[in-house]
Amino acid sequence: MAHQAHSYHMVDPSPWPILGASAALLTTSGLTMWFHFHSPYLLIMGLTSTALVMLQWWRDVVRESTFQGHHTPTVQKGLRYGMVLFITSEAFFFLGFFWAFFHSSLAPTPELGGQWPPVGIKPLNPMEVPLLNTAILLASGVTVTWAHHSITEARRKQAIFALTLTVLLGFYFTALQAMEYYEAPFSIADGVYGSTFFVATGFHGLHVIIGSTFLSVCLLRLIKYHFTSNHHFGFEAAAWYWHFVDVVWLFLYIAIYWWGS
């Protein structure tokens, strides 16, 4: 059996990159079919195939690392760089929506009544559910850090408890936001206020759901003994992502909910 003379990971040939690209094609063309021709079938196929590819690709990464031992310190360093770069790209993504918000709110046009919030818009009270949501996400940042310390100290039960709390707090945030969306007196169609509010908070909510899913997978892996006290990068990546989601919320809360009301 041949052995490599380097510490990098030369992966087995895999179908997931090309199938993932096809899934993206189906999703985007599916959106077009749904918007313009009222047919959801292609979109459904796209979302399903995307989910299937994600499941199998990441399943394979777990196999390559935990079961085959390919994640040397060199490989882990590359993964760390990768996650940092990805989160940075997401930060720029949100920056765009904050730009749009400040563009419209710093100099409100006559069509809006020359004021922000625009005439006729009754904004949500920032001291009610939004404040609770802020407390929830801050608390979840504490619990995820607690979970990390528990993992490094090899305290299994405590780690499972802390990570479970984190996931539950994430679900609580999502449930409260969903209720807020339902009860809000304004909609996405209510001018530029509605657009900036729902697009920015909506994408944030999507990232909370993604982060909660990532943390749930980590919880499952934690229970199945995948993590060791000094090698648990999957968990660290999930924790970084979660802190990022928390920080974006703080900016959203201060700018849109508080200053913008």
Partner 1 sequence: VYLLFQALRQISQRTINTASRRQYVNRVSENQKLFQEDNGLPVHLKGGAKDSLLYRATTGLTVFGTMYALYYLLVSSMPKKPN
CB closer to partner 1 out of 15 and 82: 15
Q: Candidates 26-34, 117-125, 163-171, 203-211: pick the segment binding partner 1 (CB under 8 A).
A: 26-34
Q: Which of 260, 258, 255 is nearest to 128 (CA)?
A: 258
Q: Give the three-state DSSP class for 117.
A: coil
Q: Is 64 in the site for partner 1 (CB under 8 A)?
A: yes
CA 22, 25, 29: angle at the middle one, nearest 5? Answer: 145
Residue 49 sits at φ, ψ, to 5 deg, of: -65, -35
Distance of CA 80 to the CA centre of its chain: 17
Taking CB under 8 A as the criterion, the residue among 12, 89, 106, 189 binding partner 1 is: 12
Taking CB under 8 A as the criterion, the residue among 8, 17, 25, 229 binding partner 1 is: 25
Q: Candidates 55-63, 124-132, 166-174, 238-246: pick the segment binding partner 1 (CB under 8 A).
A: 55-63
65 DSSP assignment: I
In sign, the C-alpha dihedral spanning 34, 89, 244, 220 is: positive
CB closer to partner 1 out of 44 and 139: 44
Write the binding mask 202 to 241 for partner 1: x where contact by CB under 8 A, - elsewhere: ---------------------xxxx---------------
Q: Candidates 19-27, 142-150, 168-176, 204-212: pick the segment binding partner 1 (CB under 8 A).
A: 19-27
Residue 246 sits at φ, ψ, to 5 deg, of: -65, -45
CB closer to partner 1 out of 72 and 145: 72
Distance CA 234, CA 238 (A): 6
Shortest Å, Cβ 4 to partner 1:
15
Distance CA 212, CA 113 (A): 40
Q: Is 48 in the site for partner 1 (CB under 8 A)?
A: yes
Shortest Å, Cβ 237 to partner 1:
20
Shortest Å, Cβ 165 to partner 1:
19
Residue 228 sits at φ, ψ, to 5 deg, of: -110, 170
CB closer to partner 1 out of 63 and 122: 63
DSSP result, 229-251: TTB-HHHHHHHHHHHHHHHHHHH
Q: Is 60 in the site for partner 1 (CB under 8 A)?
A: yes
| Cβ density class 159-185: b for 16+ within 10 Å, e for less | bbebbbbbbebbebbbeebeebeeebe
Shortest Å, Cβ 168 to partner 1:
20
Total binding residues for partner 1 by CB under 8 A? 36
The continuous run of DSSP H or E covering 110 comes out as: none
Contact residues toward partner 1 (CB under 8 A) are: 1, 11-16, 19, 22-23, 25-26, 29-30, 33, 37, 41-42, 45-46, 48-49, 52-53, 56, 60, 63-64, 66-69, 223-226
